[in-house]
Amino acid sequence: MNDETNLQLLCELLAHIDDKLNKLPVKQQEDILFSAQSSMSRKLTDWWEAQTRAGREHERLMKQAIKDEKERKKILAKLTRREKELLRLE
pTM: 0.55
Q: Where are the beta strands (DSSP E) in the chain?
A: none
Distance of CA 77 to the CA centre of its chain: 31
Q: Are 32 and 44 in contact (CB under 8 A)?
A: yes
Q: Where are the domains of the chain?
A: 3-86
pLDDT tens for 11-35 read 788 888 888 888 989 888 888 777 7
Q: Are 59 and 51 in contact (CB under 8 A)?
A: no
pLDDT for 22-81, tens place per residue?
898 988 888 877 776 778 888 888 888 888 888 889 889 999 999 999 999 999 999 999
One-letter amino acid of 62: M
